[in-house]
Structure 1
Amino acid sequence: MSKWLLSILYLIVSLFLTRLIPFSAFFRNLDTMVHEFSHAATTLLLSGSVLSVELHADHSGVTYFRLASSWSHLPIALSGYIGASLFALLLFYLQSAGKQKLGLWLMTGIALALLAFYVHSGFGFRWLIGFIALNALVLFQKKDWIRSVYYGLLAFLTLEESAMGPFTLVLNSLDGSRSAGDASSLERITGLPALLWSILFLLFALACVGRSLQLFVRTVSGPSAAAAKRRDGIWPKRRMDV
């Protein structure tokens, strides 16, 4: 089975299993938060100004900004889905490196920045406060297994949403009566069809899914693989100094 098909299969299974977890819908807004933060951060990097950010209960979001130049609209429109996919990959990299606490601090820092500067009312305001408080409880408790389970849940939910977002864009692009979000913006900027941009976002997301799952499998199988090598008397080669 190809890596693409295997990644899609793992994603479908993960989607089904995580939806059985109580309150999982609450944490799916993490991907929305990162998506909108990516828009906001790119705007600031390009010398624009961010007016406000909205996070909605249906897992959608909006970033209002003022551009420093017309050309900067292109990278800003690209940054949302690409940033969300890269962030999901980063979470799995940090997990494989045993740095879950750093990942949790990073998520909390983004939430704090949005709360302090751009999200001051509505569902997004309440969600950010709840998310920050829950992260703080997990970060400062002493049981590592609780932190690991919590981090793994956030990582998988973020990975799923980072792929489902572009998939929804593809469906919306096929239906001319519905907006395709950032893909529609890119169509207006470049003249290239929204469907093309949606497919590119989806392919990039699936590539990140595949790499993330490789990191996860390596993390899970690492200790058992090392134990097997010890049982068989096989160890990695080392350079011998004479």
Structure 2
Amino acid sequence: MSTFAKWAPAVLALVLVAGPGVWRWSRHTITIAHEAGHALVAVLTGRRLEGIKLNSDTSGVTVSRGRPTGVAVVLMYFAGYVTPSLLGLGAAALVTAEQVRPLLWATVALLAAMLVMIRNAFGVLSVVLTGAVMFVVSWYATPEWQAAFALFVTWFLLLGGVRPVGELQSRRARGRAPRSDADQLARITGVPGLVWVLLFAAVTIGALVLGGRVLLPL
């Protein structure tokens, strides 16, 4: 892989995350991963998943039924903001192990499973388009283009997982996110919402650092 092919995906991912105009659109992919994290943990902890909505303003809602308190619901609320970064870290491991096609197919499979639980038209459109791009690349692209695309997706998840945490605290500071995941966790546990935001930041930044250390030797 050429030097350009190694660094272009990272630069493109940074532009999509750092650019205020383009982030408005690229953030939808992070929202998909965020809500997928809520949904997956809800299912794994025995809660009943009822549906997922992805909204055009980049917000999302995952509805599940179960006990309103306890470890399961804490894990479910915590999962959202850290899932994109953890997925990026896992993707970094697969890319460095040269398991690009399995990574792309696993992503398509996860999006297909998520699609079953989407409950609004915009959400269906977002998931279908994202899955279609993954499928086309995994099926038709050359191995070199697949590797470059996988690097882009990995860097985008790692970088894109950090920015929403800062945005969350900015909204909280202005009183515009009273029902955020951090505030829901504060209500359930009694631990201040700021502490949960700092934990989100620690996980997402930590994943970026670790993922970067895995990818940069490439």
Shorter-chain TM-score bucket reads 0.7 to 0.9
| Residue matched to 2:97 | 97
User: Paired residue for 1:235?
Assistant: none
| Counterpart for residue 173 of structure 1 | 172
Secondary structure of 1:58's aligned partner: coil
Q: Which residue of 2 aligns with 1:188?
A: 187
**In 2, Cα distance between equivalents of 1:40 and 1:215:** 28
| SS of residue matched to 1:70 | coil
Matches within 5 A, 1:117-132: 118-132=117-131
- Structure 2 counterpart of 1:114, one-letter code: M
Closer/same/farther in 2, CA of residues 177 and 34 from structure 1, 3 Å limit: closer
Gaps of 5+ in 1: 1-10, 220-242
Q: Could you tell me how far 1:205 is from its partner in structure 2?
A: 0.7
Change (3 A) 1:17 1:78: closer
CA distance in 1, matches of 2:160, 2:93: 17
> Alignment partner of 2:216: what SS?
helix
Using the aligned pairs only, state the percent identity. Answer: 22
Larger radius of gyration: 1
The alpha carbon displacement at 1:32 in A equals 1.6
State the alpha-carbon separation in 1 of the partners of residues 46 and 17 from structure 2.
39
Calculate the TM-score normalised by the size of structure 1.
0.76
Matches within 5 A, 1:27-176: 27-68=26-67, 70-71=69-70, 72-116=72-116, 118-176=117-175
Per-residue deviation, 1:143: 1.2
8 Å CA contact 2:16–2:22 kept in 1: the answer is no
1:198 aligns with 2:193: no
Report the Cα distance in structure 2 between the residues aligned to 1:103 and 1:25, rounded to whole angstroms.
26
Check 1:132–1:101 CA distance in 2 against 1; reply closer, same or farther (3 A cut). Answer: same
Contact 2:52–2:118 (CA under 8 A) maintained in structure 1: yes
Indicate the structure whose relative CO is greater, using CA pairs within 8 Å and at least 6 residues apart: 2
Map Cα deviations across residues 98-131 of structure 1 (whole Å, 9 max, x no partner). 1121211121111100112x11432110111112
- Residues 13, 29 of structure 1: alpha-carbon distance in 2 compared, 3 angstrom cutoff: closer
CA distance in 2, matches of 1:79, 1:17: 23
